[in-house]
Structures are given as structure tokens and as C-alpha cells.
Amino acid sequence: MKRLVTLFILTTLVIAAGFAKPRQKDLSGSIAIKGELTREYKKVPAGTPVIIRRVVKTNQTTNNSGIYYAVEINGLQESVPLEEMDVVSLSTPETDREFWQQVYLKRHLYEYFHNRGYKHKLRQEIDEECTDYLDKLNEIAYQDDYITSYVQSVFAKLNATTIDPNRGESLNVRVIQSAEPDAFMLPNGSMLISTGLICTLDSEDELAAIIANELSHYVLDHQVDNIYRAERRAKRAAFWGTVFAATAEAALDIAYWDDDRNAYAISFVADIAHITALLSMPTIDRLGMKYKIGQEVTSDRLARELLTFKGYNPDGLASALEKILGYYNQHQRKEDINRYGSIENLSKRLDKIGKAETQSNRPYLRNTCDVVTFNAAMNFANKRYKEAAQLIRKNISNGFATDNDYIILVKAEMALSNSEEVNNRCLSLLDKAQEMAGENPNLDIYKQRVLLLMRMNKQAKAADTLKEYLTLLTRYQEQGVEGEEKEWTNKEIGWANQMLERVSRI
């Protein structure tokens, strides 16, 4: 009798379980993604408007994934399995929220975060490490409020602020001093744009494209996913202990621009060797920014979608990458390229994107010409004379050169060559600089002319220029300058008097 009762109870439980309502887990929360049916579905004709309201995972086994979409059709809710979602064609998004919800839907990010979780503890640790790293990078921050504001304006237009309430990172962008055309999206939402990138590009569409690409890596969670995988492969303490080993000893020595900081309005430029140490390959790898080629290609595709949605030319991405590739080819760098890995990786990405017409935009070139001057000064200070001259010629070619640009070009050409042809060309460049300075004499023009005339063995003309230089320095001193300005003026007066004495002995 007991056996019969037990059998009855088990049978009842099995039958009840068979009729139990399947358990569901809401993956997306409330969403509203518009579309229409591509064909007749459950007797509803093709072309009928639909709204996707939720992404749900169930314990049912009638389909392979267990993923269903709650779809509103004619005011009624239908449950459409993932495998049949080709029946819905998504409409063009009208708002940022709609765009990012579509991104999450099409890239299956709702499922990704359900399966992997948001790893809040890991993200907090990453944020702390990134904050320490950003503190180090403050030493090479580019100090120009106008350029910073301009880059921020492009970033803000593309910003994914409405992407996911479960991701608490604060998205922001910073401009740093670096000769190389780099952009990095740290896993805590901080983006770094180098002055070298701004100089290499020629249009806002190109700058927006690079920013969109970096944002895409963040949206697709590539950095955190790469860190998570690397952390699992290594002992946890060893992983975090070596994240910043390459930068911990990189004391950032400031390389002052000789005595020209007043003339160029550049307070300092960082030493390129230390910039390279701070932006080292080990640090980039450890922060999840060494992307696989598949991750790059996926981010490129999303970037083009974002650019199109925001009204930028999506071909700006191909144009920008082509110029970055050209930079590294010109500098004969094939491997160990910080952000891009190698020339081969860049070439593969371009093959996937397809060639595009090279872009150039005068408003962008006008907005960024001071950055070009700055990077030329940084290259010159680090004895990269060819690079300095090339950048200045870009400003001259675009019609945005200043008297300071011509002075940097003269210094670079004098460092590279000493021939009658070059020296005469440098004199003409200084004449142009003097013409551009107008009634506001640029003191450095006079000093550079003295050095050039002495090189050309034109001592009498050098003496006349020295006297003019001394007169201008004395007038400047009489204005009551104090501090560093006074110290610099006294030093220059002393130098000019010594040079006059030397010329008189020749």
C-alpha cells in the first residue's frame, strides 16, 4: 500500500511539473525598439509595425537558445524566439536611447551581460587602477582649454550616456601630449586623445570616427572582457601587481623649450621617451586595450553605424586609419605600435572597411593649427627635426602658419642642414615671420636672425641685428617685468652683449 501511495505522489509531481509555467528572466528591462514584419507571421501580414518590449530567457527547451522577444503587434503581445527574429526588420532609430537599445539587441549584449554578469567588483578594481594611471598621465596633459573643449564637443555628440544603467562608468575624454597618432579608451570610460592624432587627421569626420571606434570597444565591453580573460589565466595578485610596473619608475622629466617658452606661449613640452614609457605596451595590454582583430573589425562596424546616425561621414574611419597607417609607414614602424599592434593589423582593418576618399576640412584645420605648432615644438625639443619641419609645412600649406611657425621651421632646417641655399631660404622665412609679426616684434626672430647671419659669416649685419635685439629687450625690461620674465630678459641681454663683443673681435 505504501508503495502505491509513493508512486501516486511521484506521478502527481511529474504531471504538475509538466504543466508548470516556465520560469523567465528579464534580460533587458523595459525597452521600445520599433520595427516591422518582413513577412506574414502568425497570420499577421508583412509590413505590420511592431515594438520589441523585452528580451527574456526561459527554461523552455523548445528552441536552442531559450531566448524570446516580447513583441507588441497590433496592441497584442507575441513571444518570438531568437531563431525567428529575422521576421522583424528594425526601423531607423530616432533617439540616442533607441540607437543604443538596437545596438544591445543586434549584438546580443543583453544575453552577454546575463551570461557573464556585470562583474561590478572587477570593474571597481579596474576603475581604481585607471584612476592611478590617469594621475600619472596628468603630467603630460595638453594644456589648451580651447582644444580640450573642441575635442570634448565631438566626444559629447557621440557619447553613449544612455547605454546601460548597470554600467556606472563615467565617460570622459582627455587630450595628452604625444607625437604618435593614438587614441585609447580605458576600461573605466576615460578616453585619451593624443596631440599627434589631432595633427595627423585633417577633418572632424576623421576625429569623430576614431572616437566612435574607441567608444565602440567600450560599449561592446572588450576591455573588461580582455582583462577578465587575462586575469583568469594568471594568478590574480600577480596580474594586478604588474599592471603598472612599466610606468611606476617613469619619472616624468619636463623638457623646457630652451628660452623660447615666452615666444611660443608653450610652458613646457614633455620628453618623448617618458611619454613612450607612460603609454607603454605592457600597460595597454594589461588594461585590456590589446584588441584581437575580430574585436577591431566588430568595433569598426559599430563605429560606422554610430557615425551615420550622428550625421558624420562613416568613410571618415577609413580615411583616418589610412593616415595613421601612413604615419607609421613613414616612420618605418612595423611592429609594437602601441594602440594598433602592427602595420599588418591596420592593413587588415582597412581591407575589411574598404578604401575611402581622403578627407580634409578647413574648419578642422583652422581649429587645430595650434596643436600642430605645439607638436612641432615638442618634436624639435626632442631633436626630431624632420618631423618638426613636416608639421610646420602642414600649417604653411593650409594657410594657417604664424610667425612662430616660421621660426620653428628655421630652427629645424638649420639643425638639419648648413648650405648656402638652405641659409638663404631661412633668411626669407625669417623675413616672412617679421612681416607677420607686424608692429608687435617677436624677439625670437631677432635672436634667430643673429645666429643665422653668424653662420653665414655676415658679422656686420649680425651686429646691427644684435643692437636692435638689445634695444627691444631693454624696452621690454622697462615695462616692469618680474619673476621668470625678468630673469629671462636679463639672461638675453647678457647673451646679446657677449655676442656683440665677440663680433667686434672678428
DSSP labels, 426-442: HHHHHHHHHHHHTTS--
Least confidently predicted of 255-264, 297-306, 380-389, 428-437: 255-264
| pTM of the full structure | 0.88
Distance CA 411, CA 294 (A): 45
Paired with 88 in beta bridges are: 37
Question: At CA 282, angle to CA 159 and CA 277, rounded to 5?
Answer: 90
Check residue 85 and give its pLDDT: 92
- Structural domain includes residue 484: no
Give the single-character DSSP code of 175.
Answer: E
pLDDT at 252: 32
| Mean pLDDT confidence for 244-252 | 42
**C-beta atoms surrounding 415 within 10 Å:** 14
pLDDT at 207 over 60: yes
| Percent of the chain as helix, strand, coil, to the nearest 5 | 60, 10, 30
Q: Which residue has the higher pLDDT, 24 or 187?
A: 187
Which of residues 297, 326, 353 is at a domain's end? 353
Q: Specify the pLDDT at position 11.
A: 41
Residues 6+ apart with CB under 8 A from 38: 46, 86, 87, 88, 89
Q: Mean pLDDT across the stretch 478-484?
A: 86
Query: Tell me, what DSSP letter sits at residue 74?
Result: T
Whether residue 471 lies inside any domain: the answer is no
Q: Which CATH number covers residue 59?
A: 2.30.30
Q: Is the pLDDT of residue 261 over 50?
A: no
What's the chain's average pLDDT?
Answer: 87
| Whether residue 285 is found in the same domain as residue 214 | yes
* Tens of pLDDT, residues 351-373: 999 988 999 999 999 999 999 99
The enclosing H or E element of 455 equals helix 443-455
Amino acid letter, 395:
N
Q: Average pLDDT, stretch 211-218?
A: 97
Q: Has residue 127 got a pLDDT over 60?
A: yes
The whole-angstrom distance between residue 58's C-alpha and the CA centroid of its chain comes to 41
pLDDT at res. 5: 43
Q: Give the residue with greater pLDDT, 236 vs 7.
A: 236
pLDDT digits (tens, 9 = 90+) for 387-426: 999 999 999 999 999 999 999 999 999 999 999 999 999 9
135 and 206 share one domain: yes
- pLDDT confidence band for 236 (50 / 70 / 90): low
DSSP 8-class letter at 205: H
**Same domain membership, residue 87 and residue 132:** no
Q: How many Å separate Cα 470 from the centre of its chain?
A: 45
Q: Is 465 part of a structural domain of the chain?
A: no
Is residue 243 very low, low, confident or very high in pLDDT (cuts 50, 70, 90)? low
pLDDT given for residue 24 in this prediction: 82
Q: Report if residue 505 sits inside a domain.
A: no
**pLDDT for 16:** 42
Q: Which of 87-96, 336-345, 391-400 has the lowest mean pLDDT?
A: 336-345
- Both 186 and 231 in one domain: the answer is yes
Mean pLDDT of 59-88: 86
Same domain, 59 and 180: no
> If DSSP codes are grouped into helix, strand and coil, which group holds residue 460?
helix
pLDDT at 162 over 90: no
Cell output for 457: 659669416
CB 71, CB 78: distance < 8 Å: yes
Together in a domain, 136 and 77: no
> Taking residues 205-229, what's their average pLDDT?
95
Q: Are residues 91 and 124 in the same domain?
A: no
Selection from 195, 255, 254, 260 nearest residue 408 by Cα:
260
Q: Which of 353, 369, 391 is the last residue of a domain?
A: 353
CA distance 185 to 212: 10
Cβ–Cβ under 8 Å, residues 353 and 317? yes
Judgement on whether residues 65 and 189 belong to the same structural domain of the protein: no
pLDDT of residue 60: 65
Please report which confidence band the pLDDT of residue 254 belongs to, taking 50, 70 and 90 as the band edges: very low
d(CA 486, CA 497) in angstroms, rounded, equals 17
State the pLDDT at residue 173: 96
* Residue 365 C-alpha from the chain's centroid: 17
Alpha carbon distances (Å) from 402 to 394, 409, 413, 416: 12, 11, 17, 21
Q: At what angle do helices 403-416 and 420-437 cross, to 10 degrees?
A: 170
- Over 60: is that where the pLDDT of 20 sits? no
Least confident of 215-229, 359-373, 479-493: 479-493
User: Does 53 score more than 50 pLDDT?
Assistant: yes
Residue 496, C-alpha cell as written in the block: 646679446
Contacts of 21 (CB under 8 A, 6+ apart): none
Q: How far is CA 195 from the centre of its chain?
A: 9
| Residue of 202 and 440 predicted with greater confidence | 202
- pLDDT at residue number 239: 59
What is the C-alpha separation between 162 and 140, in angstroms, rounded? 31
Looking at 249-361, list the stretches that DSSP marks H as alpha helix, in order from N- to C-terminal side.
Answer: 261-264, 272-278, 281-286, 293-309, 316-330, 343-353
Same domain flag for 37 and 124: no
**Same domain, yes or no, for 232 and 307?**
yes
Q: Predicted confidence band at 480 (pLDDT cuts at 50, 70, 90)? A: confident
- The total number of structural domains in the chain stands at 2
Is residue 152 pLDDT above 90, yes or no? yes
Q: pLDDT-derived band of residue 62, with 50, 70 and 90 as boundaries?
A: low
Structural domain range at position 48: 23-95
Cα–Cα distance, 260 to 241 (Å, whole number): 42
168 lies in a domain?
A: yes
Q: Is residue 336 part of a domain?
A: yes
If you average pLDDT over residues 199-227, what whole number do you get?
96
Same domain for 194 and 149: yes
**Residue 16 grid cell:** 504538475
Lowest-pLDDT range, 74-88, 252-266, 469-483?
252-266
pLDDT of 163-175, one tens digit each?
Answer: 888 888 899 999 9
- Bridge partners, residue 89, by sequence: 36
Q: Which percentage of the chain shows pLDDT scores above 90?
A: 68
Name 442's Cβ contacts closer than 8 Å, sequence gap at least 6: 263, 403, 404, 407, 433, 434
Q: H-helix or E-strand containing 254?
A: strand 254-255
pLDDT on residue 19:
44
Residue 428 domain flag: no
pLDDT at position 10? 39
Give the cell for residue 320.
Answer: 583616418
User: At which of 51, 78, 95 does a domain end?
Assistant: 95
The grid coordinates of residue 140 equal 603630460
| Range of weakest confidence among 135-139, 276-280, 431-435, 488-492 | 276-280
